[in-house]
Structure 1
Amino acid sequence: MTDTAPRTRFPSASEIEAPPGAEGWRQLYPYFLLFHESRREVDEAKFWFCDSQHWPQVFKPFDATLMEYAVQTLGQFNTRHYLIPPANGVEFRIHNGYCYMSPVAVPPEQIPDRVPHFMERAGHYFAHWDELLNNWDTKVRGVIGELEALEFRPLPEMVPLEDVTSGKGLAPTHGLIETYEKAISLAFRQWQYHFEFLNLGYAAYLDFFGFCKEAFPDVPDQAIATMVQGVDFELFRPDDELKGLAKLAVQLELQEALRGDAEIVLARLAGSHRGRAWLEAWDKAKDPWFNYSAGNGFYSTDKVWVDHPDVPLSFIRDYVAMLGEGRSIDRDIEHVVAERDRITGEYGALLDDETRAHFEAKLGLARTVYPYVENHNFYIEHWSMSVFWRKMRELSQVFVDAGFWPEVGDMFYLRRDEIEVAIADYSNGWAVGVPATGPYYWPAEITRRKGIVEALSSARPEPALGRPPEVITEPFTIMLWGITSERLERWLGGAQGSGRITGMAASPGLVEGRARVILDANGLSELEDGEILVTQVTAPSWAPVFARLAATVTDIGGMMSHAAIVCREYGLPAVTGTGNATAVIRTGQRLRVDGHTGQVSILTEEGEGQEGSAAD
């Protein structure tokens, strides 16, 4: 007889074997990012979830660096800077190439002692938010400027004469390793700045959230989120630039001139007065708004608009087509703000004068800090990391020219410490006038590692590891990742049946439409008007497709995930944190998405019912 009882725990890391062909995968990552047999008992006593919201792909060795920096600095600002009362950092490991996290809650008896420290430290930031945020902007732009100024050049045949006669006393080998170390240091510094404000933004929202739950016991989470929406995010600025370029193209009657590959289009436009006028606007928009990654900025393979102009140009053509059909391409911000004010007014009216004053004060703070929760994405994950990855590719080109590996992308199969070793190898050979060892070692080793990464990518990660706690209470885990006790019960119960999938009600609305399952940015071109996007997680640079969608369904994400925030701002229904929507739903199936209840219903099989329609 088959045991159909639901599982009470997820497997441990030691119980999950690597897929065939991935043997030796542990060598790709630093020892401190791995589960180890020597501390198995300690790790298996904890609950770990796969953070496919931020890192949905298998890590190449170098790409894991940004994950390490991001999660380390998240923790230090919670734990050491602000002493956020209920939450320390997040432990993190890599298993079979994917990131697993275990939030570190503060023991209840220690929370009271942290409160006065948090009030003093965070209170200073809240009281001087605009001033400190302006300082943050200066710091972040400064780091970007320093990254832009870095240069990676091949070692010369001989040291320049002026370096000798000036008494410089240093060889280019010193500059090469120093420049690499500076690039790494600047990336780490930028992640420090990333979390200087982010956790405070969440903390202010969570404080308002907790107040509302106490004042209005039956208030839906969605209603609380709606009270802070209607913000003019800078993260939407790249999309707004595309819309402006589309409108200008229509005004200048350049619709036909935009057809074709970007290289051909841009050359064609340069040949006419109207085309040059459009190109002037294009060039103005590029800096900095096209430093936008087609992914989330964490991976070396993410395409950046400024380096791949076909990506933004394709979005512009879509907007031009919509304008040609007489459709609006602008967000209905007035409706979003009106809904925000309506709900805020209704709940505020239920309070007495004294309680309402507290309500308005906490809401005011939440609205002040809330924009940073999304805006920082452009400055750090996109603009800063776009420049960082570009500089790393410049370094890799030096190695390509020296015969260390055949393709620029190959360097990212090395750990960051191994790149320092490769620089030493390259420098040693140059210094004594003999071939370096790298060209004899790295090509075969990189081929081996590519095979491992490919094998790891062939298997979907287990959503979680270990025994879950009886109740998920850690606020960031719930708000950002959408991981709740109910969600874990569904994961433990296996695939959801009866043609219905349950997730988090992240953005209101009820629609029916045709499903389009997309696993990465490369599939966005397949989206058709009125379809329902079903994906693991959305990226900020996917904003241009939201004007064409009927709704969004994601595998992971909470009320404060990017997909939830953007859908609320665009007035689209969204269900997030389903766990397995991309595994259950197939492109072509007709769905009903209820953003009020978090229910997704599969209405028809693939190919039946092609048109999307709003149900209310």
Structure 2
Amino acid sequence: MTMKSFPKPSDLPVPAGAEGWEEIYPYYLVFQDALKEQEDAKFWFCDSQHWPTVFKPFETIGGEFAVKCLGQYNARHLMIPNANGIDFRIHLGYLYMSPIPVPEEQIAARVPDFEARIGHYFANWESKLANWHVKVKGTIADMEALSFAPLPEKVPFEDIENGVGKDGSEVLLENYDRLIQLAYQNWQYHFEFLNLGYIAYLDFFNFCKEVFPNIPDQSIATMVQGVDMELFRPDDELKALALLAIELDLDEHFANTDDPAATLASIAAAAGGERWMAQWEQAQDPWFNFTIGNGFYAHDKYWNVHQEIPLGFIADYIRRARGGAQILRPTQKLIAEKERIVEEYRELLDPEVAAVFDAKRTLAATAYPYVENHNFYIEHWTMGVFWRKVRELGRMLSDAGLFTEAEDMLYLSRNEVRDVLFDLVTSCGVGSGAPIGAVVLPEKIAHRKGIVDALQTARPAPALNTPPQSITEPFTRMLWGITTEQVQQWLGADETQDGSTLKGMAASPGQVEGPARVIMHADELTQVQPGEILVAPVTAPSWGPIFGKIKATVTDIGGMMSHAAIVCREYDLPAVTGTGSASTTIKTGDLLRVDGTKGTVEILGTQPALTGPGAHSHSHA
């Protein structure tokens, strides 16, 4: 069959006002006219799962570090036989990826290296993972220790006495470089175990498909599900605080959680408040280093900075628990279901094959929790500290008159910020008064703000150029849900659809009906009402507190190992991921039938579009 194609990068219209957008990003992140032939020959898909909004120039750090480090573990550390890394570009503000295959003739030569390397990791899993925690927490502590104080008017006299011979500007420059390097360091660590987690799971997955040709993908996932994962700890801490508040009869103090200081003061002054406050303080370190976003953007709000967020979730849990809802995850039910499925399939095998099945399943189940847990340590904790330090530096530079507000710094790339710092230390050092940037930067930043705002007006194309006949790269399939079938569906190859049924990945089993709630951004989560079906371009693992309210989840992107799929399986909710267009096709209020066993979403009835001031006047959940 002839493959249909997605648009070429050059075919996509540039939104009005975003002309010249390429100049705001480093040259190596944008498509080049000189390489048009090679770049147009490759298939690129948009990773809106991790980067759903347009990058401000400074924020490309998250995309660059993550995708580069993912690639190095495939291509250089583990020598995965059939998969190198993933090439990436920013086009019209969004991140596009193109998996790099290993040429057929080189695959066999990589196998011995690959087997020796993963064999070493799996044989020493516990000790290596314990060391990983030490390394990652060490990086975070080093990052916390950095500060960005303004330069002194004059070198202190004790520095003269002690013959220091430096003016303190070197500390500012070193701390900035160190901040960037430490973030990069933890991103390298991030993939040390992640790729192994996927490999162990894929190995078990492929084995199951071989011995049980008709086994559903979900049954395989259920056999290794984690249940007790650190990624769920922040949410579990909130549930425990809600239940303690009920036990101590503190409900009334949660009436206005939008004012955290007043809420906490009134709890502290209440009978039993001291005990609750002690548990609240204890939960914060480290579990409130958690964002309602995904950690890749400077605007992601972290619980420990925006305490109204965890307090609002606790208030909601109190209401639900008082109303008789079971707010704890059904862990016993999940464990029983896992054991039942394992036994059911194991019984079909003769003893020798059963022994292989046990070994592969145990390895996958050991490695699997890391697939989610790393999220807490890197995306949430590391990046929470990183963005806090970035804001601190932005404030110092805006106070020094280089631009108007701290956030303006995000419109400069990380290498441009280094120039700005040298401009500042020069003007201080030579006594020339205001840095040159004070007249150059405000205009440049205003121009770039206009470009970013214009890019935000368009949604990204899901993919670019002609897809390959088959997609084999394991991460592309497992994490993003980009399979040969899925891509064909995005292209409309299945012309029998009438528009009222969407197809995606059968990511978590079960069938339910209910009204849709379309959420395009984490800030809208307060609109979700009990019993609704969540529809989003993608969900973040940090949306845990709303999974107790909803009936099912539908996303545009994501595979069996995406956060939405994993979290829904752990909360026993149906999920269909990787539909391509659910968030733009479905409207809030539409009646849906979600079948997470088959991977279909039917729109049973549509809701007239809401307009005007009443469109968002939903009560806060």
Same fold (TM over 0.5): yes
- Is the Cα–Cα contact under 8 Å of residues 401 and 434 in structure 2 kept in the other structure? no
Q: Which residue of 62, 69, 87 maps to 1:66?
A: 62
Question: Shift in Å at residue 264 of structure 1?
Answer: 1.6
* Alpha-carbon distance between aligned partners in 1 of 2:115 and 2:591, rounded to the nearest angstrom: 50
* Residue in structure 2 matched with residue 228 of structure 1 by the alignment: 224
* Residue in structure 2 matched with residue 611 of structure 1 by the alignment: none
* Residue in structure 2 matched with residue 533 of structure 1 by the alignment: 534
Code of the aligned partner of 2:486: R
* Alpha-carbon distance between aligned partners in 2 of 1:283 and 1:9, rounded to the nearest angstrom: 54
- Is the Cα–Cα contact under 8 Å of residues 515 and 589 in structure 2 kept in the other structure? yes
Q: Secondary structure at the match of 2:601?
A: strand
> 1:395-448, CA deviations, whole angstroms, 9 ceiling, x for partnerless residues?
111111111122221111110000000001111111111211112111121111
* Residue in structure 1 matched with residue 35 of structure 2 by the alignment: 39
* Residue in structure 2 matched with residue 594 of structure 1 by the alignment: 595
- Is the Cα–Cα contact under 8 Å of residues 6 and 493 in structure 1 kept in the other structure? no
Using structure 1 for the length normalisation, give the TM-score. 0.96
Question: Shift in Å at residue 277 of structure 1?
Answer: 2.3
Code of the aligned partner of 2:408: D
Match runs of 1:295-374 below 5 Å: 295-374=293-372
- Is the Cα–Cα contact under 8 Å of residues 103 and 477 in structure 1 kept in the other structure? yes
User: Which has the larger displacement, 371-380 or 150-159?
Assistant: 150-159
User: Which has the larger displacement, 593-602 or 333-342?
Assistant: 333-342
Distance 1:6 1:526, change over 3 A: farther
Q: Secondary structure at the match of 1:253?
A: coil
CA RMSD of aligned residues (A): 1.4
Question: Shift in Å at residue 540 of structure 1?
Answer: 1.2
> 1:89-133, CA deviations, whole angstroms, 9 ceiling, x for partnerless residues?
000000000000000112233222111111111111100000000
Question: Shift in Å at residue 272 of structure 1?
Answer: 3.1
* Alpha-carbon distance between aligned partners in 1 of 2:3 and 2:585, rounded to the nearest angstrom: 20
Question: Shift in Å at residue 273 of structure 1?
Answer: 4.4
* Alpha-carbon distance between aligned partners in 1 of 2:60 and 2:162, rounded to the nearest angstrom: 41
Q: Which residue of 8, 22, 25 maps to 1:26?
A: 22
* Residue in structure 2 matched with residue 183 of structure 1 by the alignment: 179
* Residue in structure 1 matched with residue 124 of structure 2 by the alignment: 128
Q: Secondary structure at the match of 1:92?
A: strand
1:167 maps onto 2:166 in alignment: no
Code of the aligned partner of 2:556: D
Q: What is the number of residues matched between the two proteins?
A: 604
Question: Shift in Å at residue 276 of structure 1?
Answer: 2.7
- Is the Cα–Cα contact under 8 Å of residues 227 and 334 in structure 2 kept in the other structure? no
Q: Which residue of 203, 211, 214 maps to 1:215?
A: 211
- Is the Cα–Cα contact under 8 Å of residues 290 and 304 in structure 1 kept in the other structure? yes
* Alpha-carbon distance between aligned partners in 2 of 1:36 and 1:396, rounded to the nearest angstrom: 32
1:477 maps onto 2:473 in alignment: no
* Residue in structure 1 matched with residue 47 of structure 2 by the alignment: 51
* Alpha-carbon distance between aligned partners in 2 of 1:567 and 1:607, rounded to the nearest angstrom: 29
Code of the aligned partner of 1:67: G
1:141 maps onto 2:142 in alignment: no
> 1:14-63, CA deviations, whole angstroms, 9 ceiling, x for partnerless residues?
11121111011111111111100100100111100000111111101010
User: Which has the larger displacement, 399-408 or 566-575?
Assistant: 399-408
Code of the aligned partner of 1:481: W
Match runs of 1:452-467 below 5 Å: 452-467=451-466
Q: Secondary structure at the match of 1:473?
A: coil
1:524 maps onto 2:541 in alignment: no
Code of the aligned partner of 2:311: L
* Residue in structure 2 matched with residue 612 of structure 1 by the alignment: none
Question: Shift in Å at residue 353 of structure 1?
Answer: 0.9
Distance 1:318 1:151, change over 3 A: same
* Alpha-carbon distance between aligned partners in 2 of 1:281 and 1:16, rounded to the nearest angstrom: 53
* Alpha-carbon distance between aligned partners in 2 of 1:500 and 1:33, rounded to the nearest angstrom: 37
Code of the aligned partner of 1:544: P
Question: Structure 1 vs Structure 2: percent identity of aligned residues?
Answer: 56
> 1:62-84, CA deviations, whole angstroms, 9 ceiling, x for partnerless residues?
10012101111111111001101
Using structure 2 for the length normalisation, give the TM-score. 0.96
Q: Which residue of 380, 384, 389 maps to 2:378?
A: 380
* Alpha-carbon distance between aligned partners in 2 of 1:263 and 1:21, rounded to the nearest angstrom: 42
Code of the aligned partner of 1:296: N
* Alpha-carbon distance between aligned partners in 2 of 1:353 and 1:224, rounded to the nearest angstrom: 20
* Residue in structure 2 matched with residue 450 of structure 1 by the alignment: 449
Question: Shift in Å at residue 231 of structure 1?
Answer: 2.8
* Alpha-carbon distance between aligned partners in 2 of 1:414 and 1:181, rounded to the nearest angstrom: 15
> 1:543-578, CA deviations, whole angstroms, 9 ceiling, x for partnerless residues?
010000100000000000000000001100000000
* Alpha-carbon distance between aligned partners in 2 of 1:230 and 1:50, rounded to the nearest angstrom: 29
* Residue in structure 2 matched with residue 579 of structure 1 by the alignment: 580
Code of the aligned partner of 2:392: E
1:78 maps onto 2:74 in alignment: yes
Structure 2, gaps ≥5 residues long: 610-621
* Residue in structure 2 matched with residue 421 of structure 1 by the alignment: 419
Q: Secondary structure at the match of 2:502?
A: strand
- Is the Cα–Cα contact under 8 Å of residues 226 and 368 in structure 2 kept in the other structure? no
